């Protein structure tokens, strides 16, 4: 896995993962992207926010973790503190505010489980894509 650090936070992008055009990776809270993960165009990963009940409106940072072989559809948004399980699918335009179980299919605003991926123990490669990173 390739790794970076930003402001002391850990950023890891797994082997073979694809980050398409127009993605926003706001990584101040830390980010782990597993292997063979596909981020479709326009995906936003937001690891920071503000405490709206704090009179100082302080920053709050929490990591996002995306398991191996997950797929995030176009313009999906994942918020701070979320873990997306291995093989999970996030449908286009979904806003993920809670953890997603392995192999679940989630969609909507906020995202909820709408199905389950039948493929188990995937071993495919995304090498045929033209990734920006990977």
50 annotated active-site = yes
Residue 8 in this model has a pLDDT that exceeds 70: no
Other residues' Cβ atoms within 10 Å of the Cβ of residue 59: 12
Among 50, 57, 128, 130, the active-site one is 50
* Dihedrals phi, psi of 90, to nearest 5 degrees: -105, 120
Which residue has tokens 């797994």? 14
pTM, to two decimals? 0.88
Mean local confidence (pLDDT), 10-38: 92
* pLDDT (0 to 100) of residue 2: 45
Interval 60-90: pLDDT, tens: 999 999 999 999 999 999 999 999 999 999 9
Residue 75: cis peptide before it, omega within 30 degrees of 0? no
Domains of the chain, start order? 2-100 (2.160.10.10)
Please answer whether residues 63 and 81 qualify as being in contact, where contact means their C-beta atoms are separated by less than 8 angstroms: yes
């Amino acid at each position: 896995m390739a790794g970076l650090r930003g402001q002391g936070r850990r950023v890891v992008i797994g082997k073979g993962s694809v980050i398409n055009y127009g993605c926003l990776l706001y990584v101040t809270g830390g980010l782990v992207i597993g292997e063979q993960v596909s981020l479709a165009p326009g995906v936003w990963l937001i690891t920071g926010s503000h405490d709206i009940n704090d009179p100082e409106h302080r920053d709050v940072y929490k990591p996002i973790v995306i398991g191996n072989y997950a797929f995030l559809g176009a313009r999906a948004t994942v918020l701070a503190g979320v873990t997306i399980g291995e093989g999970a699918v996030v449908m286009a335009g979904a806003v993920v505010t809670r953890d997603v179980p392995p192999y679940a299919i989630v969609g909507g605003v906020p995202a909820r489980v709408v199905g389950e991926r039948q493929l188990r123990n995937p071993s495919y490669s995304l090498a045929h894509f033209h990734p920006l990173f990977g």
